[in-house]
């Protein structure tokens, strides 16, 4: 992949912050250099995809080659880069009937045991692209005792929908999920063992109290925020859409370390959700709008994304959306940086450097890919590359 010419890069420097007497509200970090490319435009309609639609769920085949679920064609297409230009290659259609039938896809992950596709109720394994697709349903697992109300969940369902499933433990051949009983509201942290091909429950390393405190539900309207799952080598990280705190679990020893770092750019937790009057009736248009306004207000509060790897093995990062002050004020996106031990090293306001960066980003090669917030033509995808160094 071609590197961006320095004459086109917009250098950004995150200065060193100094500890003051209010240390709990201050963060002292190292210098972070962020370079944003000019906007790049690539034709995106070869396989009926559109820049106006959400970016497709994808999994990496290598550092610059992605397999993507094209919902418009119900196919698995290939995304790749020629230099800075994103290209699309048409793939095979997913079968709706027969032994290779898939039942609907929420996400997918490339594993050593084949391509794993899943929805809220079923794990599907396509081991070679030709053999019968194997189906493993939650309801058929003794772990759930024929409970039809359990479903898989991985990540927040509000401001950030992490398009890339990041719960694959390659070393132990397991994929991790939260499974939730949508009737009783109970949930489990589980893994699916790809070798033994069965579901297993693991210790609940997430904060149950924190999750319950940030559940929003009123009659048939709900916002459920299960923790994000991120696995890198022997570390499993559970983080939250609504709080800066996260847990780092050593998968060898099962030792848990709790982390929560201060910030100079954003607050560390959402405000509690305002109570909805039980007298409201969703069938009443005014009451319904009041409920929607409360949910919208809560969504505009601070929000945290899942972790992502940084280029060149330098550590990890995650996006944080600052509270939106008003409808007219632009959403402020920040990025936190962490070393390989998940200790915070710095933070920077990305919106100040390039207001057109959206929340859709991922590591490709040695740079971060950001979809542009504004897409001018449905047939062309606008995006940026961001280089990070420290």
Q: Residue 181 pLDDT more than 90?
A: no
How far is the C-alpha of 223 from the C-alpha of 358, rounded, in Å? 22
Of 153 and 382, the structure prediction assigns the larger pLDDT to: 382
pLDDT at 186: 86
Q: Kind and range of the H or E element at 287? A: helix 285-299
Question: 82 Cβ partners below 8 Å, 6+ apart?
Answer: none
Token pair for 91: 């793939």
* Interval 48-83: pLDDT, tens: 988 888 888 899 999 899 999 998 899 999 999 999
Integer angstrom CA distances of residue 31 from 14, 137, 226: 5, 48, 33
**Mean model confidence pLDDT for the chain:** 87
How far is the C-alpha of 225 from the C-alpha of 269, rounded, in Å? 14
pLDDT at 313: 93
Chain centroid to CA 16: 29
- Domain 20-29+75-353 belongs to what topology? Neuraminidase (2.120.10)
How far is the C-alpha of 175 from the C-alpha of 110, rounded, in Å? 11
pLDDT at 200: 96
Q: Which stretch of 139-143, 198-202, 342-346 has the lowest confidence by average pLDDT?
A: 139-143
Kindly write down the DSSP assignment for every residue of 290-322, as one continuous string.
Answer: HHHHHHHHHHTS-EEEEEEEPGGG--EEEEEEP
Kindly write down the DSSP assignment for every residue of 179-239, as one continuous string.
Answer: EEETTT--EEEEEEETTTTEEEEE---S-HHHHHHT-EEETTEEE--PPEEEEETTEEEEE
pLDDT at 55: 87
Residue with tokens 């009451």: 287
Q: Residue 4's pLDDT band (boundaries 50, 70, 90)?
A: very low
Q: Residue 22 pLDDT more than 80?
A: no
Q: Residue 159 pLDDT more than 50?
A: no
Q: Residue 15 pLDDT more than 70?
A: no
How far is the C-alpha of 195 from the C-alpha of 202, rounded, in Å? 17
Of 314, 345, 318, the closest CA to residue 334 belongs to: 318
Q: Residue 162's pLDDT band (boundaries 50, 70, 90)?
A: low
pTM of the model: 0.88
Strand order in the sheet with 333-338: 303-309, 316-321, 333-338, 344-349
Of 190 and 182, the structure prediction assigns the larger pLDDT to: 190
């Amino acid at each position: 992949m071609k590197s961006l010419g320095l004459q086109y890069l917009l250098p950004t420097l995150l200065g060193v912050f100094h500890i003051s007497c209010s240390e709990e509200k201050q963060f002292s970090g190292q210098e972070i250099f962020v370079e944003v490319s000019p906007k790049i435009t690539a034709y995106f309609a070869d396989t009926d995809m559109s820049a106006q639609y959400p970016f497709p769920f994808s999994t990496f085949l290598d550092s610059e080659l992605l397999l993507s679920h094209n919902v418009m064609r119900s196919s698995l297409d290939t995304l790749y880069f020629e230099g800075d230009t994103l290209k699309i290659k048409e793939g095979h259609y997913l079968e709706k009937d027969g032994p290779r039938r898939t039942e609907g896809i929420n996400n997918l992950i490339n594993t050593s045991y084949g391509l794993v596709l899943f929805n809220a109720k079923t794990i599907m394994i396509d081991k070679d692209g030709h053999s019968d697709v194997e189906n493993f349903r939650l309801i058929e697992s003794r772990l759930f005792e024929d409970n039809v109300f359990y479903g898989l969940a991985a990540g927040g369902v509000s401001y950030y929908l992490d398009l890339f499933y990041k719960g694959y433990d390659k070393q132990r051949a397991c994929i991790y999920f939260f499974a939730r009983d949508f009737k009783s509201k109970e949930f489990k942290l589980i893994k699916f063992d790809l070798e033994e091909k069965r579901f297993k429950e693991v210790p609940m390393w997430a904060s149950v109290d924190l999750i319950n405190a940030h559940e929003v539900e009123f009659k048939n309207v709900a916002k459920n925020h299960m923790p994000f799952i991120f696995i890198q080598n022997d570390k499993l990280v559970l983080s939250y859409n609504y709080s800066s705190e996260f847990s780092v679990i050593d998968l060898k020893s099962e030792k848990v370390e709790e982390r929560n770092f201060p910030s100079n750019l954003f607050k560390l937790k959402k405000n509690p959700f305002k109570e909805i009057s039980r007298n409201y009736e969703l069938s009443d248009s005014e009451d319904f709008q009041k409920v929607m306004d409360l949910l919208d207000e809560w969504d505009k509060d601070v929000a945290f994304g899942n972790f992502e790897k940084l280029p060149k093995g330098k550590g990890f990062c995650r996006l944080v959306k600052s509270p939106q002050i008003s409808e007219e004020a632009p959403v402020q996106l920040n990025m936190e940086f962490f070393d390989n031990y998940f200790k915070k090293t710095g933070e920077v306001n990305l919106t100040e450097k390039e207001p057109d960066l959206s929340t859709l980003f991922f590591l490709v090669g040695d740079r971060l890919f950001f979809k542009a917030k504004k897409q001018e033509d449905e047939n062309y995808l606008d995006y940026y590359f961001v280089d990070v160094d420290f």
